Structure 1
Amino acid sequence: MATPRRLIAPLALCAALALALGVTVTVSGAPADQAPAPPTRADTRTPPPENDAQPGALLLPLDAYKFTALDTHTIASAEDVLIRACMRERGFDWEALPPPSARHADPPNLRRYGLTDPADASRYGYHLPPPTPAQERREAVWDARDELPPEQRLAAFGENGATGGCWGEAHAELQRGVTAPDMSVLVRYISQAYDEARRAPEVVAVLDAWRACMAGAGFDYADPLEAFNDPAWGESPRPSARERAVAEADVRCKRETDLVAVWSGTEERVQREVIRENPGDLASFGAWKDGWLAAARATLDRD
């Protein structure tokens, strides 16, 4: 049985968002607005803090209420501090994950509207680039945890091998005094805003222009996400020549039609309306996120 490789609540939200936004995984390692269903390993790239002005960053208003991969890595590192102390009391060692870092990070929402980077399109098609050294180091720690001896595994993760033991105690400690809201409400707000923006006249028009551009290149796709999720891309661990050609045309057509700017601008407007109309719900989401992260950072500062 695999260990809990993701933080359950924040990344359950990401998984639900992936389904709500229609971004599926058809390629090994392809993004689904960041996550398959938890619990599983935390192997996404670490994005920068939300106020980072990194070139290529695409920030939307409701991002302020979501957990980034940097947030989840911060919480996981704080849990490791608590787990290590708990495991030592039980006579075991505990190898911690590498510390969280925003270096060499992809910008937020990098593939929200499909592929956008021409270099990635030419080299990898719709497949993800190879894992970074930082990703590989994290994976090595998780792989070692999967191979823990039974007695040590029981102490770490409890009888169900996933959410009990020292991990369960650490997870609960970091959320002590913090009330978790109904995150399905935030999922609904984000997915409804996405759908509303998708139906807006300016987005419909720019998608029509993108589709015509792709047809001119010899490719028939209804929209960028259909191209992104073509099942053919999942038939090989490496991109085919056709996959790269479609990806290159996709990115070029996005740039020629200004698709990302139009679509994201419309979604930003709709999300701001959601925030204005639902201040109480959004305040509870923000308080939960801020409280959990504050406890994690305090734990790391004491270590």
Structure 2
Amino acid sequence: MPLLLAGCSDGDSSSADAKENSKKPPAVAETPKITDANDRAMPLDTYLLNPEQRETLDNAYAGLMSDCMKRFGFDYTPPTVTEQPSGDGPRTRTDGRFGLQSAEQAEKWGYHPVGGITEKDDSPWGAEGQKMTAVMQTAERGSDDPKEKFGSGGQVINGQTVPDHGCVGEARKKLTGSVDGSVGDPQTSTDLKLDTLAKAQQDARTRAVFAEWSTCMKGKGFDYADPLAANGDERWVRTPQPTRHEIQVATADQECRAKHNVVGVWFAVDHAYQERAVEQNAEALSEAKADIDGMLKASASELAG
């Protein structure tokens, strides 16, 4: 009778090695010397909407919502999507992963968006300033209860039956196939984008260059642990226009970033984490890409119609 040896098979060993390697920081192939990474692609970009695609999707959704509400006799304008600041907006994706990267914008606007902060209506339903009556909200959301976000519909308004989840549900179903569908980036892609962002920011290589940046800032009279702290200083949102102090901090921030290649290191580390995420989540991301393609195809059809 052959002796059974206890232990791992080669397959189990390889799996264990892979798991162990996944806990280690990924290797960085190249660290570019840059002050702006907005025009550089990231591995997850394929599985996320770029600005042009998002605009196409937003326009299709807005048209579907307007048409649906018009059936019930309402002149309705959907909320507009907040645009990226014109002076420092990513060109290959919709998130500003590395904060402010424009010395020119820093000198004029500090950490404020170009033009400053404008007053906006915080209402989640309807365009800014648009008055939403109770019956309009029923048509929009499919619920008579103002405390309920969505309802099953079925109400009759001006001879028309409200669909499940209202006009929002109807628009979502046409673009995603489901009244609960997310009109935007797939959840898998969003989760990985945020996960890799957090890991890259806490990576020892990124923290080391952040420490150099912090020392540089102290030499200019400003005490911040990292660029995130400077960018997120709550004082900046208290005024519609940047203060002189804010501009001084933002300008020093850009100078210290350039001196220590902060964006280059940060980008390279983030890129490495995203590469690994794509490799480890190939199947789920393939489905996410299919969801995006489906939404864009449906959007193009709606806009053409």
Q: TM-score, normalised by structure 1?
A: 0.66
- Deviation by residue 1:7-63 (Cα, 9 ceiling, x = unmatched): xxxxxxxxxxxxxxxxxxxxxxxxxxxxxxxxxxxxxxxxxxxxxxx9942431112
- Equivalent in the alignment of 2:6: none
Q: Secondary structure at the match of 1:142?
A: coil
- Deviation by residue 1:97-117 (Cα, 9 ceiling, x = unmatched): 789x99x68324674222211
Structure 2 residue 260 is the aligned partner of structure 1 residue 257: yes
- Equivalent in the alignment of 2:296: 293
CA contact (8 A) 2:57 2:299 kept: yes
Higher helix share: 1
Post-superposition offset of 1:143: 2.2
Structure 2 residue 241 is the aligned partner of structure 1 residue 238: yes
Aligned pairs for 1:1-303 (under 5 A) are 56-95=38-77, 106-107=89-90, 108=93, 111-130=96-115, 142-145=127-130, 147-159=131-143, 163=150, 164-176=165-177, 185-302=188-305
Which whole-Å CA distance do the structure 1 matches of 2:221 and 2:241 have between them? 22
CA contact (8 A) 1:60 1:268 kept: yes
Cα–Cα, structure 1 residues 284 and 178, in superposed 2: closer, same or farther, change >3 Å?
A: farther
CA contact (8 A) 2:77 2:127 kept: no
Which whole-Å CA distance do the structure 1 matches of 2:283 and 2:138 have between them? 41
- Equivalent in the alignment of 1:38: none
Which whole-Å CA distance do the structure 1 matches of 2:72 and 2:41 have between them? 44
CA contact (8 A) 1:87 1:94 kept: yes
Runs (5+) with no aligned partner, structure 2: 1-35, 151-164
- Deviation by residue 1:58-82 (Cα, 9 ceiling, x = unmatched): 4311122223454443223213333
- Equivalent in the alignment of 2:28: none
CA contact (8 A) 1:198 1:204 kept: yes
Cα–Cα, structure 1 residues 157 and 196, in superposed 2: closer, same or farther, change >3 Å?
A: closer
- Deviation by residue 1:156-177 (Cα, 9 ceiling, x = unmatched): 3433566532232122221127
CA contact (8 A) 2:111 2:236 kept: yes
Which whole-Å CA distance do the structure 1 matches of 2:106 and 2:227 have between them? 13
CA contact (8 A) 1:75 1:296 kept: yes
Q: Secondary structure at the match of 1:237?
A: coil
Q: Secondary structure at the match of 1:113?
A: coil
Which whole-Å CA distance do the structure 1 matches of 2:284 and 2:240 have between them? 42
Identify the range of structure 1 (208-217 vs 157-166) with the bigger mean alpha-carbon deviation.
157-166
Cα–Cα, structure 1 residues 191 and 74, in superposed 2: closer, same or farther, change >3 Å?
A: same
- Equivalent in the alignment of 1:14: none
- Deviation by residue 1:241-273 (Cα, 9 ceiling, x = unmatched): 211111100011111111111110121122111
Larger of the two Rg values belongs to structure: 2
Aligned length: 244
Kindly report the root-mean-square deviation, in angstroms, between the aligned alpha carbons of the 2 structures: 3.9
Which whole-Å CA distance do the structure 2 matches of 1:278 and 1:178 have between them? 26
Post-superposition offset of 1:282: 0.9
Which whole-Å CA distance do the structure 2 matches of 1:234 and 1:248 have between them? 17
Q: TM-score, normalised by structure 2?
A: 0.66
Q: Secondary structure at the match of 1:126?
A: coil
Post-superposition offset of 1:154: 3.1
CA contact (8 A) 2:109 2:116 kept: no
Which whole-Å CA distance do the structure 2 matches of 1:289 and 1:60 have between them? 17
Cα–Cα, structure 1 residues 225 and 258, in superposed 2: closer, same or farther, change >3 Å?
A: same
Cα–Cα, structure 1 residues 83 and 198, in superposed 2: closer, same or farther, change >3 Å?
A: closer
Post-superposition offset of 1:228: 0.9
Runs (5+) with no aligned partner, structure 1: 1-53
Cα–Cα, structure 1 residues 198 and 76, in superposed 2: closer, same or farther, change >3 Å?
A: closer
Cα–Cα, structure 1 residues 81 and 260, in superposed 2: closer, same or farther, change >3 Å?
A: same
- Equivalent in the alignment of 1:13: none
